[in-house]
Structure 1
Amino acid sequence: MTLNISSDLIEALRNEANKTHPNECCGILLGAAGEIAQIQPATNVHPTPETHFEIDPATLIAAYKIEREGGPNVIGYYHSHPKGLPEPSKTDQASAAGDDKVWAIIGCDKIRFWRDGPVGFKPLSYEVVED
């Protein structure tokens, strides 16, 4: 499966990572199957945000409530690795739910997308579409 994402959203993900540096940014990916339509930035509430992330539970609950009410689907999550590569870390792998959500990871000024499946992360291809 190839994801579609706009160039504006790619830029917004980079901006989120830059804005929170040296801490990890985090948030929610919203859209439908195969398309990321918007991002929802969230506060990183982890006690050590420079090396870990935890999406603010209130933001996550609100996104799922909006989804249940007919709003955009929560298709995944994003976070940054300020000092690392855009690939799942050991911590990411240990904390992942295996729920088939999409993860966008920003690191080294690159963004990579991953599917969090029952047997671990698998890389996803994506296509940047112009707005």
Structure 2
Amino acid sequence: MARGIIAAIREEAARAHPDEACGLLLGRGQNVAQIRPCANVAPDPSRHFEIDPAALIAAFRAERAGEQQVLGYYHSHPTGHAAPSKTDAAMAARDGRVWAICGGKTVSWWRDGANGFEVLFTREVEG
């Protein structure tokens, strides 16, 4: 993971508060090189997230053109924990992509696998 990714996710979460922040994790192979903040177009962005479909389409088109891959997604839980919620589990695609979830000062990383979310690691961000 590129330096500063976790801090950048935490900053986006703070900026979006009290709504959920959301965006894309971009890179190559298994290396997240950058985040791309996206508009949260959920009907109730303070309780749910939905990445702007236009941003998703643009990112996948760019990937097909040889740019960075969409390795996964990030979002925040402004009043919750840094773990997948029941809604997250219900909405997950089970596509093997990585999810980063920010709750408070913690950012946790999960793989969205065929059998549900599997924790990869958790980091607390200072400040």
Which TM-score applies when normalising by structure 1? 0.90
RMSD: 1.3
* SS of residue matched to 1:63: helix
* SS of residue matched to 1:67: helix
The ranges of structure 1 where at least 4 consecutive aligned residues each deviate by more than 2 angstroms after the TM superposition are none
Query: Percent identity among equivalent residues?
Result: 53
Q: What is the number of residues matched between the two proteins?
A: 123
Work out whether 1:85 is the aligned partner of 2:85.
no
Matches of residues 13-92 of structure 1 in structure 2 within 5 Å?
Answer: 13-92=9-88
Which TM-score applies when normalising by structure 2? 0.93
Contact residue 106 and residue 122 of structure 2 kept, 8 A: no
Contact residue 104 and residue 112 of structure 1 kept, 8 A: yes
Higher relative contact order (CA 8 A, sep 6+): 1
Structure 1: tracts of 5 or more residues without a match? none
Structure 1 CA distance for aligned equivalents of residues 117 and 77 of structure 2: 16
Match of 1:108 among 104, 107, 111: 104
* SS of residue matched to 2:34: strand
Contact residue 113 and residue 124 of structure 1 kept, 8 A: yes
